[in-house]
Structures are given as structure tokens and as C-alpha cells.
Amino acid sequence: MSMSTTAKDFIANTSGLDAWGRDRAATEANKELAAKLDNEARENWHNEAWHRQVAADLVQALDYGFRFDNIFGQYIQTQTVGEFDRVIVRERRGLRVFYTSRGGYIDESQIRTEHYEMPRDTLGFHVSEHIDKLRANFSASIADLVALGGIRMETEINRRLLSLTQAAVPSSSPYYVASAGLTKAELDAAIRQVRDNIQPDNGTGQVPVTVLGRASMIDKIADFLPTYSPVATEEQRQRGFIGYYKGAQLVVLRNYADEDGRSFIPGNELWVLGGTAGRFALFGGLQVKTWDENTVDYRHYRARRDIGGMINRPEQVRRIVDASETA
């Protein structure tokens, strides 16, 4: 049996916010569980095995939430590999097929192979708190750590994906579209060009095309639909936006904010992204470590995971910047 079942149950039932944005840890129904965890923390504070189990419970909660809350795997190739694996992107070209008369000579061609190794970075957070404060109210600190840790990790992954795409399509790129007000013609052209640049590959099947942006941009697309479409009208009424346009799935990005609450996803940018425009990789799982400082009374919690990403086919990206909207 797990040494810290109380922490595991508390994290599962009280961390984060409910559907109405209320602090689940502060509700009356969970105060008894919080008090039980606080008592357990005081009794086991000098038991390092207990702290290791709490760290394992944190890993499970943060890793599960991270994998199931993120949706970037729906619009860009994403894979989970081993902690020490290398991710190699291999592209083959050069094989030619010739048309000849029967019995004629078939010219030769050479296959060219290009290899790209996925760059690897580390994403993580490191927080510390005074031991007396933790012992007095351990449950509240753990609830905050899980809630904020999960949100911030998800936010930074999306920041990384966005920054990769912005670097691949700067304002000088031919795939950058400067708009004075998003029009149907601009969006239709972007979707058509991205889809046309997705190269067929045996076994790949239908590669998705995704239109991403904040609500300020995605909402404009509903205006491009005919008013006599009852299906689209009903979908917009129920969900607030339509799910597809011209065969491309529409994704409303959350208004992700940094550690100080400042939004970093521009409200005036719309992205059209082909599913094979790049790759994203998660190396191994989340690793959490907790320890006490030797000279001062502070306990540390550190979580990290290795990630990698690349945009190696920028022709499958269109970045539309609308000057009529606030960034």
C-alpha cells in the first residue's frame, strides 16, 4: 500500500479549480481530507520515505494532467519516447519513375536521404517554502503546487510551440500574411496553400490542417459562413464557435499567460498549420524531486521534463497577422 494515500487522495480530489472557477481545496466537502493530510505531514515530516512518496504522488498528478489537458498532439506530429532516446527525422527524396515503351531502358536515379535530429531542452519549475509554513498548512501548499504547476507546464509547452512557429515564419517570410482585417479570401487561400503543400506519404493517410488562434480571431470565421446553414448556426450557438471550416479543424487557444498574468499569445494572429509541418517530442516522463536545504529551514520542490520541437516544413504554415485587432 502506498505510504501516502492521504496525499494521493487529496491531490486527486481537491487540487485545481472546478468548472465554475472555484477553489476545490477550499470547499467544505474537502476540508476534512485537508486536515487529515496536515496531521499526516506533521507526524511524518522527518520521514524521507514519506516525502519521496508525496513526490511520487505529485508526479502522477502533474504528468496525468499534462498529458490529457494538452491538445497540441491533435495538430502537429507528437510522440513520446524514452528518456535517453534520440529522435531522428528522416526524409527521402530523389527516386524518379520513368515512362518508356515496353522493353525500353529505364534510366537510373539516386535516393537522397536527409536526417534531422530533434533538439532537446528541459522544461521545469523549482519552488521553495519555509518549513514552518509548510508544516502548518501542508495541504494548501500542495494544492497550489499541483494547480499552478500543471497550468504553468501546459502554458510553457504552448509558448514553446508558438515561438518555434514564429521563428520559422517571421515577418519577412513568404508564408507571413499581413492583413488589414481578416477576409474570407485570405483565410481560404491560406488553407488551400497549406493543404496543397502537404506531400503524400505512403501510410500517412489524411494529414490534418488546423486553424489556431484566440477567440478574437476564430470568431471572425463564423462570419464567412452562409447565413442559411442551419448546422453551422446550431454548432455556433451551442459551442460558441464552429468546429471546421473548409475541411480544416478550428482550435480556440486558451489565453495563456505567463507567471505574472501577462498574455503571450497574440490576440491578432491566426495560424494555419499542416500536421506534418514539424515534430514535437516528449522524452520520458516528469521527474519530481524534493529536499531540505542544509543551512536554512526551506524545503524545495523541483519538477522537470525533457521536450523537443522543430518546424522543418514552414511551407505548411501560414501566419496571418490582423492589424485591425489588438495584439
- Over the stretch 237-279, which tens digit does the pLDDT of each residue have? 555 556 788 888 888 887 777 777 778 788 899 999 998 888 8
275 in any annotated domain: yes
Whether 114 has a pLDDT exceeding 90, the answer reads no
Mean pLDDT of all residues belonging to the chain: 81
The answer to whether residue 182 is domain-embedded is yes
Domain co-membership, 303 together with 224 = yes
* pLDDT tens column, 205-248: 578 899 988 888 888 887 777 654 666 556 555 555 567 888 88
Domain assignment of residue 76, yes or no: no
pLDDT in tens, 293-309: 888 889 998 888 898 88
Domain encompassing residue 279: 138-322
End-to-end CA distance of the chain: give it in Å, rounded.
52
User: Cα(77)–Cα(278) distance, rounded to whole angstroms?
Assistant: 7
Least confident of 43-47, 72-76, 192-196: 72-76
Residue 184 is predicted with a pLDDT of 92
DSSP 48-69: HHHHHHHHHHHHHHHHHHHHHH
Q: Is residue 125 part of a domain?
A: no
Percentage of the chain exceeding pLDDT 90 = 15
- Give the number of domains in the chain: 2
Asked if residue 16 and residue 165 are part of one domain, the reply reads no
Residue 85 lies in a domain: no
Residues 147 and 222 in one domain: yes
Tell me which of 49, 71, 93 is where a domain ends. 71
Average pLDDT in the 71-89 region? Answer: 81
Is the overall model pTM greater than 0.85, yes or no?
no
Is residue 58 assigned to a domain? yes
Whether residues 56 and 168 share a domain: the answer is no
61 with 189, same domain: the answer is no
